[in-house]
Structure 1
């Protein structure tokens, strides 16, 4: 059966995700920024209260995905600190000024995160040559790419997502995310044949996941 990751912007969402059948939590802060690194105290509380896999966003700020030397050093420090909290994986992504993959910096963070797996987040949707980027990310050692198929949402990006899953050929997991809801997850799965899906499960404009939506998302996966 395909698996479900819930993007959680607070501890309450993480607990809701666990209680309603999610397979993994991506913990982050600042929903309006698309996710940044959350407080270490919240990560610690999440680890103490969750038995499912806990991935943590490593992103020092909102905005673009090109980081200064100081920001890159902060990302390194955050990975080392969060590793001590016994999480299960990390989520990050670094681009160059021309929106190509910054292989050197990404590889350095993947190596630093070992033995924990890493997901390259939706910075992927900014790249100009997605299939070239796919190969670079495999080479960097990432295990998953979170993407909407380079569109506003997974429905619009469905064809590109299907191509990416095919090109990846089980060498890396392509995880559709971005506007994924219980109303469209079935058709997305039927079309793309992806094995892992990502949603905030937020249905009311708040920053907290809906228990009913998590259940509905999970129930529709085959």
Structure 2
């Protein structure tokens, strides 16, 4: 059965994902900026709320590129240590990524992040999709002890990257898991899995939520619609995979 991971940025999203039957959540902040490290309070509360699904924690100190200063690496390491210290009944993992200025995987930084994670599984995020040759980069992740790579095959969407995803799955074998992400939906997930052989898929299952807040006297509009995790896209993916 294909595993399904849901990208979330709130506690309610974790509850919805678990109730719908997803296998994991990736807990993030600032998803509008591609995701950054969530607060320790959010991670702690998600871990206290779920009972079955795995919980992945994004470790990304800022938006923008993936070339990090020594101080930013120290922040990433400290965030991993803090998250590992939280009580948890679910399996906890970490989602990381670091590149060099010339556009390669920063193997030295990645090794430190994997070491800090200890026995927790590590996923390399879609910084991977910025690399010029994805199959050639895969052995670097394997050598570093990375468990999983989140990728669209270097394309804007996973559906558009099927050829590369298929080659990655074949190259990976049982040494690393290929997690396909990028506009995965109920309408395309079955064909994506059939054409690529990916064992896992990842999606942001979000819908707009209209704010019920009152207007602000400051003139700043805090009542703009926001995105929140929705059950419908999750159920659509799970039903498509089951059929």
TM-score tier, shorter chain, comes to over 0.9
2-structure distance, mates of 1:143, 1:220: 26
Name the SS for the 1:89 alignment partner: strand
Whole-Å Cα distance in 2 between the matches of residues 14 and 207 of structure 1? 14
1:207 corresponds to which residue?
227
Contact (CA 8 Å) 2:187, 2:240: kept in 1 or not? no
Partner of 1:48: 48
- SS of equivalent to 1:157: helix
The equivalent of 2:31 in structure 1 is 31
Aligned residues: 222
The answer as to whether partners of 1:99 and 1:127 remain within 8 angstroms in 2 is yes
Name structure 1 gaps, 5 residues minimum: none
What's the offset of the Cα at 1:207? 2.5
Asked whether the 8 Å contact 1:20–1:214 carries over to 2, the reply is yes
Alignment of 1:1-222 (within 5 A): 1-51=1-51, 52-85=53-86, 86=88, 88-204=92-208, 206-222=226-242
Contact 1:3 1:221 in 2 (8 A): no
* 1:204 positional shift: 4.3
Shift of 1:203: 4.3
SS in 1 for 2:57: strand
Q: In angstroms, what is the RMSD of aligned CA positions?
A: 1.2
TM-score, length of structure 2 as denominator length:
0.89
C-alpha contact (below 8 Å) 1:31/1:207 kept by paired residues: no
> Which SS does the other structure have where 2:165 is aligned?
helix
> Which residues of structure 2 form unaligned runs of 5+?
210-225
Q: Report Cα offsets for 1:86-130 as digits up to 9, x if no partner.
A: 361000100001110001110111011011000000000011121
Deviations 1:123-157 (A, max 9, x none): 00011121221000000000000001101111111
Change (3 A) 1:184 1:204: farther
TM-score by length of 1: 0.97
Structure-2 separation of matches of 1:166 and 1:30? 34
Stretches of 4+ moved more than 3 A in 1? 203-206
Secondary structure (helix, strand or coil) at the match of 1:64 reads: coil
